[in-house]
């Protein structure tokens, strides 16, 4: 049996090499179909990785909720404690200063900067790819100067990061401890992440007298909005609720502890959207994959047709093989393997073409949009497997009928031709 298989494969390779024109003609349909499949898998994989990276960098890792309270929170510590009790694993304030601070380095002010007051735990909630330095730590909260991380475009605009100052009425020296990598994920906005600490309280929340709240409580802002980002366990039932009603329900039961009487003042929603985008990409991929499979099926019919015609034309050759000692199983394997070899050759050609297209596409894309870490544009292993696997499967299917016919042919009649 093994000898039959080996001999069949050797004869198949020799047959494919000897009939180059037939091989190439049979390939054409498969190349298009397999190429389409590989490109769909590649685009889908790239889209999903990009969506995941984008979502994790801008909205949070899976199961991140954005929780807002409209009204005056009287006890921030109790509120944060309840966020953890309600299921929060990582909790970070997520506050846009109302005072519209400005930023400068060496005298030149950079306009239109988006400031966000955050905690170090935001680094666990979101994907933070550092180009330089590091993300904020708990130790930074003890710093006498405000501590911040800026993104690459802002760092480039500022120039010297050792002389950065921030202020509204007066300028304060700040320590820039890290620069976030510039990528397609931040779309070039100037962003500054200011660590919530005693040194930055005034900058972020203004003086307590300005806010009109309780003394020393920066969150006591009448009519203001308090926002946090909270990452919960993805298996938590609250994570399955995109509108956050489960989570707000948990918070509402204890809202009296932090001075909120109207439960409607609490809102939450699922901030990360990678799963949603993945789902949409999946639907699109299945649709495109269907088209690719139809193309591949057309290619299969081409190989099948060529196989049937050649088996008819090759009766004498196949009979000669039998006369020389080829068993039926050897001949069956040889004919099937010829179709598989043809299809695999087509698969390899399609793969090479797709690879060239992806490399060229990646080079063009890189000129316009810097791709983030972990999101390179390349053909994934699954694309290679799907491409070559489908090519082999098509060859197998296209080879079986001609092989069965080859077995039925009379050896004696074949030798007379």
Partner 1 sequence: MSVDTAAPGAATSRPGSAPLLDVREVTRHFTVSGTRIDVLHDCTFQVERGEVVAIVGQSGSGKSTLLNLLGLLDRPSGGTYTFDGVDTTRLGEGPRSRLRGEGVGFVFQQFHLLERRTALANVGVPMVLGGVPLLRRRARARALLEAVGLEHRLHSQPHQLSGGEQQRVALARALSREPALILADEPTGALDAASSTMIMEQLLEQARIRDAAVVVVTHDPKVAARADRVVELVEGRTR
Q: Give the nearest distance from C-beta 326 to partner 1 in angstroms.
A: 5
312 contacts partner 1 (rule: CB under 8 A): no
Surface-to-core class of residue 191, CB atoms within 10 Å of its CB (0-12 exposed, 13-18 middle, 19+ buried): middle
392 three-class SS: helix
18 contacts partner 1 (rule: CB under 8 A): yes
Comparing CB distances to partner 1, the nearer of 18 and 139 is 18
58 contacts partner 1 (rule: CB under 8 A): no
Binding string, residues 266-305; x marks residues near partner 1 by CB under 8 A: ----------------------------------------
Which contiguous run of DSSP H or E holds residue 326?
Answer: none
24 contacts partner 1 (rule: CB under 8 A): no
DSSP 134-190: ----GGGGG-SS-EEEEEHHHHHHH--GGGEEEESSSEEE-EEEEEEPP-TTTTT-E
364 contacts partner 1 (rule: CB under 8 A): no
317 contacts partner 1 (rule: CB under 8 A): yes
How far is the first Cα of the chain from the last one, in angstroms, to the nearest whole number? 30
328 contacts partner 1 (rule: CB under 8 A): yes
Alpha helices in 190-314 (DSSP H): 201-205, 208-211, 245-252, 274-313
10 contacts partner 1 (rule: CB under 8 A): yes
Q: Which of 49, 61, 127, 322 binds partner 1 (CB under 8 A)?
A: 322
408 contacts partner 1 (rule: CB under 8 A): no
Q: Which of 62, 316, 384, 392 binds partner 1 (CB under 8 A)?
A: 316
326 contacts partner 1 (rule: CB under 8 A): yes
Q: CB under 8 Å to 68, separation ≥6 — which residues?
A: 225, 226, 227, 228, 266, 267, 268
Q: Are 64 and 275 in contact (CB under 8 A)?
A: no
411 contacts partner 1 (rule: CB under 8 A): yes
DSSP 63: S
Distances (CA, A) of 15 to 208, 383, 412: 87, 29, 22
Q: Which of 109, 309, 323, 356 binds partner 1 (CB under 8 A)?
A: 323
14 contacts partner 1 (rule: CB under 8 A): yes
Q: Which of 280, 360, 381, 415 binds partner 1 (CB under 8 A)?
A: 415
Comparing CB distances to partner 1, the nearer of 13 and 355 is 13
Q: Give the nearest distance from C-beta 317 to partner 1 in angstroms.
A: 6
Stretch that binds partner 1, among 11-19, 50-58, 179-187, 282-290 (CB under 8 A): 11-19
Q: CB under 8 Å to 168, separation ≥6 — which residues?
A: 99, 100, 101, 102, 203
Comparing CB distances to partner 1, the nearer of 2 and 100 is 2
Distances (CA, A) of 72 to 58, 84, 211, 247, 342: 27, 20, 10, 20, 73
Q: Which of 325, 367, 368, 408 binds partner 1 (CB under 8 A)?
A: 325
327 contacts partner 1 (rule: CB under 8 A): yes
Rounded-to-integer distance, Cα 154 and Cα 23, Å: 58
* Strand 113-118 with 190-195, pairing: parallel
What residues make contact with partner 1 under the rule CB under 8 A?
A: 3, 6-7, 10-11, 14, 18-19, 316-317, 320-330, 411-412, 415
């Amino acid at each position: 049996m093994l000898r039959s298989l080996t001999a069949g494969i050797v004869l198949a390779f020799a047959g494919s090499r000897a009939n180059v024109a037939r091989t190439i003609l049979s390939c054409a349909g498969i190349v298009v179909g397999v190429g389409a499949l590989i490109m769909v898998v590649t685009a889908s994989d790239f889209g999903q990785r990009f969506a995941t990276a984008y979502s994790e960098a801008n909205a949070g890792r899976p199961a991140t909720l954005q929780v807002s309270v409209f009204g005056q929170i009287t006890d921030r510590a109790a509120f944060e404690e309840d966020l953890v009790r309600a299921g929060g694993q990582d909790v970070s304030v997520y506050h846009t200063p109302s005072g519209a601070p400005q930023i400068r380095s060496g005298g030149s002010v950079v306009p239109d900067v988006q400031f966000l007051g955050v905690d170090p735990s935001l680094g666990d909630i979101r994907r933070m790819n550092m180009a330089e330095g590091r993300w904020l730590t708990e130790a930074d909260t003890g710093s006498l100067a405000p501590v911040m991380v800026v993104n690459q475009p802002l760092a480039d605009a500022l120039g010297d990061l050792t002389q950065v100052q921030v202020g509204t009425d007066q300028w304060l020296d700040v320590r820039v401890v890290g620069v976030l990598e510039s990528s397609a994920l931040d779309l070039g906005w100037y962003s500054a992440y200011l660590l919530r600490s005693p040194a930055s309280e005034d900058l972020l929340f203004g003086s307590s007298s300005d806010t009109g709240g309780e003394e020393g409580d920066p969150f006591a802002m009448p009519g203001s909005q308090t926002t946090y980002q909270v990452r919960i366990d993805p298996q938590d039932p609250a994570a399955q609720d995109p509108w956050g009603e489960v989570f707000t329900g948990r918070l509402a039961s204890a809202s009296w502890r932090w001075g909120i009487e109207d439960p409607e003042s609490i809102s939450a929603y699922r901030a990360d959207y990678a799963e949603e985008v993945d789902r949409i990409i999946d639907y699109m991929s299945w649709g495109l994959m269907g088209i690719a499979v139809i193309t591949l099926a057309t290619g299969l019919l081409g190989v099948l047709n060529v196989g049937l015609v050649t088996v008819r034309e090759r009766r004498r050759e196949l009979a000669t093989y039998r006369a020389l000692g080829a068993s039926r199983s050897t001949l069956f394997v040889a004919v099937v393997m010829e179709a598989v070899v043809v299809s695999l050759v087509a698969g390899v050609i399609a793969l090479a073409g797709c690879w060239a297209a992806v490399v060229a596409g990646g080079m063009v894309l890189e000129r316009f949009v810097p791709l983030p870490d972990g999101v390179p544009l390349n053909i994934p292993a699954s694309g290679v497997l799907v491409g070559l696997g489908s090519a082999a499967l098509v060859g197998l299917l296209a080879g079986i009928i001609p092989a069965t016919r080859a077995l039925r042919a009379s050896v004696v009649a074949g030798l007379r031709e």
